[in-house]
Structure 1
Amino acid sequence: MANRNVKGHVQSLIAAVQFLTRIPVPLTVPFEERTLARSVIYFPAAGALIGIVSACGLGLFAWLLPPLAAAVVALALWIALSGGLHVDGWMDTADGVLSHRSRERMLEIMKDSRVGAMGVIAGVLLLLFKFALLAELAEAVPSRPSMLVWLVVCPIWSRWWMGAAIALYPNARQGQGMGAMFHGVRWRHPAAAFAAAFLLTAAALNAVGYSLPEAAGAAALFAAISALTGLAGASWLARKLGGLTGDTYGALNEGVEVAFLAAVIVVWRLMEQA
């Protein structure tokens, strides 16, 4: 029984990495209800992998290239690690909810594989904002390499919120679409994911010199920022659509990421001026 339980969790971890990233894991796992529901626990771990690779890329390019160029390359790497899945969700969501049509028509627009004007505008603005924030980090990295830790931590909390949103809000498509794959998610899954995200964050911060109380305090602060941002976005989308969809989970991930990075830059600048 214990071996079967361990095997199930390993399969769920692999499923989380395969579902949320393009990092190759040459193993086959059953994408069934129980495995997918439990994979939510490991969403932060998948985010940590994306963050580690992205931070290593930004750190390398910040030493070799000017900050703006380094930010472009790091942003491309960051997007590639998830296969553009969440950016696509952001654009599809913008096309639907900014069309100001009926709920049913919004959902139809979001299913269309073609990208409309609002999706393009929203996508460009998102990438410009991320680029600007990464450029700020790239400029700081040569003198303060520890700033890279925030790029590690950022995807941890955005992926945690995706799991929380799956548990908190109904599926807008009533059993259809990607969101229906996770209908077995219960609150215990994102609750366990929160614990994992908190521990991963505290460990990452402690590794770059923060004391354990400082790391725990910073983890609590940015967990709150991520949760409040995600809750505001998810509540607004759910009112528009009658629930959430696979596209909106991706949009929420992107929204939490930019809010997290913006908060990091604001806090850092305030501390520099103090």
Structure 2
Amino acid sequence: MMKWVQAAAAAFQFLSRFPVNISLDYSPTLFRRSVKFYPLVGAVIGLVVWSGATGVSYLLPALPAAVLTLILWVGLTGGLHLDGWMDTADGVLSYRSREQMLDIMKDSRVGAMGVLACVLLLMLKLSLIYSLIIDGHHYSGLLLLPLIWSRWFMVHAMYSWPKARGKEGLAGGNFHGLSRGQIWGTFLLAIILSGVAVAILPLLRSDSMLWTTVLLGFITIPLAAWVAGTWLARKLNATLGGLTGDTYGALNEFVEVVALLMLVLLLNHM
């Protein structure tokens, strides 16, 4: 039991800024064991973001409420995935050779392409949060779904595509050799957490709403996450010859915003 507690703590320490005060001896084994809890980290971040959105929307107009919600969202992750998104944009959009792209992604400095990619992503995410708040949909637990399934896809990507730097770097050194059982365990946890999210429905008023939320939670959002993430992962794999720690973060951000976009699109047409 203790090893799974340590794995869960490692997942929260690595992917979030929650104060998990447990001293851990990080090793590749612990990293690999922790991935099973990635959807749980997403769900907890989503729960806090959802609670924050609900609270600030009572006090403020929709736009400043959306801005504060986004600040909370980014703050809870420590900007970890945004950093990967920016580094990936800097490398891939440099249109250099594969080796030069990987070198650019290792550079701690952010270039013009990374800044542009970050600004555009945050603008889109802000507009989607605003849409949910102004239409009242933020009161439902469906806001948790993009955070759950984006983190599930990171684990799926770790298993499904090769590592661009072999066994070097964060990806190759710590996430190499995931088992099929770990992947299915992560998927099962994402399904269970989606069921919890669907159950948090103060907006529930009719049977039609129930079936819509079930469709969103168990089919539409998971499918959108898989399709969008697979498309980008294949592009990155073809360009870089595999994936890296930075591209996992980029995939998380991309899948998260696509799932959020699908959520807004479908909720606004119910």
TM-score range, shorter chain: over 0.9
> Do the aligned partners of 2:39 and 2:151 also contact (CA within 8 Å) in 1?
yes
Please give the secondary structure, in 2, of the residue aligned with 1:92: helix
Bigger mean CA deviation after superposition, 159-168 or 170-179: 170-179
Equivalent position of 1:237 in the other structure: 236
Q: Once superposed, what is the RMSD of the aligned Cα atoms?
A: 1.6
Q: Distance in 1 between matches of 2:135 and 2:10?
A: 35
Alpha-carbon distance, 1:39 to partner = 1.0
> Do the aligned partners of 1:201 and 1:215 also contact (CA within 8 Å) in 2?
no
Q: Distance in 2 between matches of 1:246 and 1:103?
A: 16
Q: Deviations over 1:191-232 (max 9, x none)?
A: 111110111111221232668876553322211111111111
TM-score normalised by length of structure 1: 0.92
TM-score normalised by length of structure 2: 0.93
> Do the aligned partners of 1:33 and 1:184 also contact (CA within 8 Å) in 2?
no
Gaps of 5+ in 1: 1-5
> Do the aligned partners of 2:50 and 2:138 also contact (CA within 8 Å) in 1?
no
Query: Paired residue for 2:91, among 79, 84, 96?
Result: 96
Please give the secondary structure, in 2, of the residue aligned with 1:270: coil
Alpha-carbon distance, 1:66 to partner = 1.1
Query: Paired residue for 1:75, among 52, 67, 70?
Result: 70
Tell me which amino acid in the other structure corresponds to 2:200.
A
Equivalent position of 2:192 in the other structure: 199
Gaps of 5+ in 2: none
Alpha-carbon distance, 1:122 to partner = 0.6
Q: Deviations over 1:89-114 (max 9, x none)?
A: 10110000011110000000101111
Equivalent position of 1:255 in the other structure: 254
Matched, 1:217 2:224: no
Q: Deviations over 1:107-141 (max 9, x none)?
A: 00101111111111111100000000011112123
Please give the secondary structure, in 1, of the residue aligned with 2:268: helix
Tell me which amino acid in the other structure corresponds to 2:264.
I
Q: Distance in 1 between matches of 2:167 and 2:239?
A: 18
Equivalent position of 1:168 in the other structure: 160
Tell me which amino acid in the other structure corresponds to 1:27.
I
Please give the secondary structure, in 2, of the residue aligned with 1:29: coil
Equivalent position of 1:3 in the other structure: none
Alpha-carbon distance, 1:34 to partner = 2.2
Q: Distance in 2 between matches of 1:33 and 1:94?
A: 27
Equivalent position of 2:54 in the other structure: 59
State the identity as a percent: 44
